Amino acid sequence: MTTTIKVSDETKQHLDMLQARMTLKFQKKKTLTELVDAITRIALKHEDELLESGKLPPLEKDPAMKPPMDWGISADASKVDEYIYTET
């Protein structure tokens, strides 16, 4: 199973730099998935430190907390079930 996450451009640059360093260190390209897996394992080992107050950025800086984009399209939500469940 995979999940898409949103990160800031700065975080993406940091991940890319870390990925490049790991590639040099291990003489084999590590995927971004492998990198995130490794970061997660390390974070879980140091969970107490990570959860100390002040260590995590405020939610306002989380890209996932941005308000949804308004595309300017109105939709009739009452018709959703009809579109989804009606056989054509």
Q: ∠ CA(54), CA(56), CA(61), 5° rounding?
A: 115
How many C-alpha atoms does 42 have within 13 Å on its Cβ side? 6
CA distance linking residue 28 with residue 48, whole number of Å: 32
Residue-wise pLDDT tens digits, 23-73 = 898 899 988 889 999 999 998 998 888 777 666 666 666 666 677 677 777
* 66: phi then psi, degrees, rounded to nearest 5: -65, 145
Q: pTM, whole model, 2 decimals?
A: 0.54
Q: Domain extents for the chain? A: 1-66
